[in-house]
Amino acid sequence: MTEPSTTGGRTAGERRLQAVLVDMDGTLIESEHLWGESEAELVAELGGVWTEEDHERNVGNAAEPVGRYIIGLTGVDLTPRQVADRLYEKFRAKLEDGAELRPGAKQLVSMVADAGIPVSLVTSTERALISAAIGGIGLESFDDSVAGDEVGANKPDPDPYLIAARRLGVDPRRCVAFEDSVVGVASAASAGCATVAVPNHVEIAPREGVVFRESLVGVDLEWLESLVADR
């Protein structure tokens, strides 16, 4: 008979932590610069200029909201979906060499999975691009994944994290979520998750229930457990 796994003196059945939910772009993979380059190239083709400020305003957003922003910026006669599709084509081409992993990303996912704690990818990126984007870790490393085109309302709405928790059969208040953007943090925190902000390209204002880290390096199970200890 196999002995129950333990973490910090607790068996898996005694853990308060029920799942870890992780954003992809900018959190697990260093892809925001690829999005920025793709956006700038597309806007230039449409006769406009894409600034760093424009990019920062759209970090973490789904493709169609970015498409609407680009239409407003350029006045081009296209639908948000058409702009999003062209943006995705450019981003997909930049993924051919793979996306660089953020420091500690693979170790975090492996540690959680090895401990028998469910881990789900929760991203605004649409399903068609996820496997290529997360290739450095492997989509098979996750118990589940929620894509931007599989939710009724995308980040900053809490829907993506509520869906992720529901599909895993867990309480969102006993999940730890990792995010790097303003919209992502708002989504996870509004869903009730214990939220860890790891700012990358944009500044994130303090918010109740949100803990800040400089990187994913050094995250351990005892610390994750502490975030949900009183929930």
Per-residue model confidence as pLDDT tens digits over 122-179 = 999 989 889 989 999 999 999 999 999 999 999 999 999 999 999 999 999 999 999 9
Task: Give the integer Cα–Cα distance in Å for 172 and 204.
Answer: 22
Q: Which residue has the tokens 């909201």?
A: 65
Per-residue model confidence as pLDDT tens digits over 65-91 = 899 999 999 999 999 999 999 998 998
Task: Give the integer Cα–Cα distance in Å for 144 and 152.
Answer: 18
Per-residue model confidence as pLDDT tens digits over 11-64 = 445 679 999 999 999 999 998 788 889 999 999 999 999 998 998 888 878 888
Average pLDDT, whole number, for the chain? 90
Tokens of 12: 């898996």
Asked whether residue 2 carries a pLDDT value surpassing 80, the answer given is no
Average pLDDT over residues 193-218: 94
Q: Where are the alpha helices (DSSP H) in 20-169?
A: 32-45, 52-58, 63-74, 80-94, 105-114, 127-133, 159-168
Please give the helix or strand (H or E) that residue 146 lies within, else none.
Answer: strand 144-146
